Every structure is written in structure tokens, then in C-alpha cells.
Amino acid sequence: MMSRPLQEGVSRYLVDRARWHPLEIAFWVVALASVFLLSGKHLILTEIVVLALFALSLDLILGYSGIISLGHAAYFGFAGYVAGRLAKHNIITEPVLALIVSGLAAALLGFVTSFLVLRGSDLTRLMVTLGVSLVLREIANQIDWLTGGADGLQGIVMAPVLGLFPFDLAGHVAYVYSLCVLFIMVLLARRIVNSPFGLSLRSVKDNPVRASALGIPVNGRLVAMYTVAAGYAGIAGALLTQTTQFVSLDVLSLERSADVLLALVIGGTGYLYGGIIGAILFKLMQDYLANLTPQYWQFWIGLVLVIIVLVGRERLTNWTTPVRAFLARLGPRAAHPVETAPASTIDER
């Protein structure tokens, strides 16, 4: 005999996990407003959006699947070049279609390389992911007839978005375009992480042995998520090429992989918006530091990284805890102590 309150409680709990939080809605309202109110800043805002999507893609494998990657730029850059060539040779002129194709290309590359990250420890994964991105960079360097080599791919001209909205010099169309792409990709990501598939990845990250003992094909799920994340990174990279009409070797560099890792870490992993928040903070920080010391801003970024680690990443994301606690009080768990409170009920341990 099932108790009605229990059934409603559980059902609502599960559904609420996927519900839109007020802060999320507020965020997108602000984002929409920025189209009209911050029109002077659209160029840097587009950069932020691209980085945000890139960081989101890294969150999928790092925050949700527990895979450390130092070479995620491989998929970012690969799609960037694909998008560049698609446009340059008028193979696919419509940007949205080209974006999708580039993303799929990156996903395919992700699928093919995913088997390399399944084996071995954290260190092995670091090595392999770094190695793959460096190999790709070296290939891009060598086949300069295709990639433009160190000079990069120049002369990319973008056709109007959906045939209706031509890219303008001030970057307005580019910004709205990028924002729409980010929004759609976030919608998709929300579905994925709140689905049984997403839950199974979280369990794999948490305890792969037990996940396997529950019937979860751990490797298969990791391959699938890695492929999706590569596709996301690819869309971000293609977006960069399309909005800047340029792509060069640095999209495949170690610095690119390290920057996105830093951006994600600043924002916090595992709750989808960490990449976006981190991208905003990172770009703002980078902009401020670059104005301060044009040549040596990398020093300060490095210092920030060192300090973050020394202080402790958990303490960093603790500023989100009161917010999350507040939101939790709005849900069915209002009758229960908030999970992040100290475990005061434990007297048996």
C-alpha cells in the first residue's frame, strides 16, 4: 500500500530537480536584455558566449562524467577549421547548417578518440587528451595548404544567418546568433543531464564499480557523453570561426585547453551554469588584466589559478551554497534539513 504523500513527494522531487530555477530564468532575461542595453559591448559578449559554450562542453565530461581533459581544444579547433573551410569554399554557405555540420564533425572525432580516454588513470587521460590535441595542432601546422598554417585561414566571408540576417561589422547579428545557439544548446544539455542517461553518467563519476554492478555499461556511456561533449565543443569552435571570420592554430593550442579548464573551474563544475558563469568571470578578468599589463596578463591568470587551488575549489563554489540552499527551500524538501548543513543527526558513526 503506497502512501499518497510519499508518492507525491518522490514524484515532485524528481521533477523539481529538472525545473527551471528562478535564477536561471533571471539569467536569460538579463541575457536577452543585454542585446538591447549593452549594444556597445557585443563583440566581447560574443567572445564570452563562445567561451561559455566551450566551458559547458567541458563540464559535460569533467563535471558530469569525471574525465580530466587537457586537450578539449582538439574538438573546438577541429570544428573551427571545418567551419572555416565550409565557408571559404561555399560548400555550405548558410551559417546554421554549417554550424551543425561542423559540430557533427567534431562529435565524430570525439567518438573516434573516446576509446583512448577509457583506459588508464587520471594521469593517462591527461596525457592522452593533451597528446591528441597536440597531434591535431601539428597536423594543422603541417597541412598549411588546407589550414593556412601559422597564418591561419583568412578571407572567410559569412553568408547571412538563415539567409535573412547578414553579419554586421559591429557584431550585433553575431551576438544574437551566438546567444541563440547557446540558449538552444543549454536547453538540450538540461534535458541530457536530467535524463536517466545523465543520471547514469553522474553515477559513473561517483562510483564506477557500483554503476557497473547496477547493470550500467560504463564504457559505452562514457563514449556517448564524450562524443556529445566533443560535438558541443565543436559548435563553440565553429561559432568562433563564424563570428570572427578567422581561424588559426591557436584554437588547437594547450593555452586554449587550459583557459577553458580555468574558466570552468572558476564557475564550478557539475551544475551546467558553472561554465557560463566562469566564462563571464574569466573574460572580465582577462580583459581587466590585459588592460593593466598588456603583455603579461598570463602571469596574473596563473596566479589566480594557484590561489584558487591553494584556497580550495570547494570553498570557491561555496558562495553558491547559500543560493542553492535558498532555492532548495522552495521545493518539496522544505520539510527536511538542507543537505549542505552539517550532519548533526549522526550519532552512530
Partner 1 sequence: MAPVLETIGLVKRFGGITAASDVSLQIEKGARHALIGPNGAGKTTVVNLLTGMLRPSEGQILLDGHDITNSEPHMRVRRGIARTFQINQLFAELTPIEAIGLAVSERMGMGRQWWRLVGRRPEVVEDIIGIIEQFQLADVMYDRTAILPYGKQRLLEIALAIACRPRVLLLDEPAAGVPEAERHEILTTVASLPKDVTVLLIEHDMDLVFSFADRISVLVNGALFADGTPDAVARDARVKAVYLGETFDA
Partner 2 sequence: MLTILFDGIAYGMLLFVLACGLAVTLGLMNFVNLAHGSFAMAGGYISLVLVNRHGVPFFAALPLAFVVTALIGALFERTLYVHVYAKSHLDQVLFTIGLVFMSVAAVDYVMGSQQQYIQLPAMLQGQVNLLGLNVGKYRLLIIVICGLLTIALQLTLARTRFGSRLRASVDDPRVASGLGIHVNGVFAVTFAVGSGLAGLGGALGAEILGLDPTFPLKFMIYFLIVVTVGGTSSITGPFLASLLLGIGDVAGKYYVPKFGAFVIYTIMIVVLIWRPQGLFARATAR
Contacting positions for partner 2 (CB under 8 A) = 62, 68, 70, 115-116, 119-124, 126-128, 130-132, 134-135, 138-139, 142, 254-255, 258, 261-262, 265, 295-299, 301-306, 308-310, 313
Alpha-carbon dihedral angle through residues 320, 326, 331, 332, given to the nearest 10 degrees: 110
**62/222 with CB nearer partner 2:** 62
**Residue 124 interacts with partner 1 (CB under 8 A)?**
no
SS3 161: strand
Query: Beta partners for 247?
Result: 153
Cβ-contact 54, 297 below 8 angstroms: no
The DSSP-derived string for 125-142 is HHHHHHHHHHHHHHHHHH
In the complex, the smallest distance separating the C-beta of residue 222 from partner 1, rounded to whole angstroms, is 13
Task: List % helix, strand, coil for the chain (3-state, nearest 5).
Answer: 75, 0, 25
**17/119 with CB nearer partner 2:** 119
Q: What count of Cα atoms within 13 Å lies in the side-chain half-sphere of residue 190?
A: 15
Q: Identify what 288 binds: partner 1, partner 2, none; CB under 5 to 8 Å per kind.
A: none
Query: 37: burial class by Cβ within 10 Å (0-12, 13-18, 19+)?
Result: exposed
Q: Give the one residue of 121, 169, 291, 348 binding partner 1; rule: CB under 8 A.
A: 348
- For residues 182 to 201, the per-residue mask of contacts with partner 1, x marking binding by CB under 8 A and - elsewhere, is ---------xx-xxxxxxx-
Cβ-contact 68, 117 below 8 angstroms: no
SS3 222: helix
In the complex, the smallest distance separating the C-beta of residue 125 from partner 2, rounded to whole angstroms, is 9
**41/313 with CB nearer partner 1:** 313
The CA-based angle 80-82-86, given to 5 degrees, is 120
**Residue 207 interacts with partner 1 (CB under 8 A)?**
yes
| Binding segment (CB under 8 A) for partner 1, from list 51-59, 92-100, 101-109, 210-218 | 210-218
Q: Identify what 336 binds: partner 1, partner 2, none; CB under 5 to 8 Å per kind.
A: partner 1
| Region 18-47 residues binding partner 1, contact defined as CB under 8 A | 18
Nearest in space to 251 (alpha carbons), one of 11, 55, 78: 78
Length of the chain: 349
- For residues 50 to 89, the per-residue mask of contacts with partner 1, x marking binding by CB under 8 A and - elsewhere, is ----------------------------------------
**130/158 with CB nearer partner 2:** 130
In the complex, the smallest distance separating the C-beta of residue 93 from partner 1, rounded to whole angstroms, is 31
Q: Which residue has the cell 554549417?
A: 98
Q: Identify what 258 binds: partner 1, partner 2, none; CB under 5 to 8 Å per kind.
A: partner 2
- For residues 327 to 346, the per-residue mask of contacts with partner 1, x marking binding by CB under 8 A and - elsewhere, is -----xx--xx-x---x-xx
* Rounded Cα–Cα distance for residues 153 and 89 (Å): 12
The phi-psi region of residue 120 (left if phi > 0; otherwise alpha if psi is between -120 and 50; otherwise beta) is left
**Residue 214 interacts with partner 1 (CB under 8 A)?**
yes
SS3 346: coil
- The gap from C-alpha 5 to its chain's centroid, in whole angstroms, comes to 38
Can you give the binding site for partner 1, defined by CB under 8 A? 2-3, 6-7, 10-11, 13-15, 17-18, 191-192, 194-200, 202-203, 206-207, 209-210, 212-218, 221, 224, 332-333, 336-337, 339, 343, 345-346, 348-349
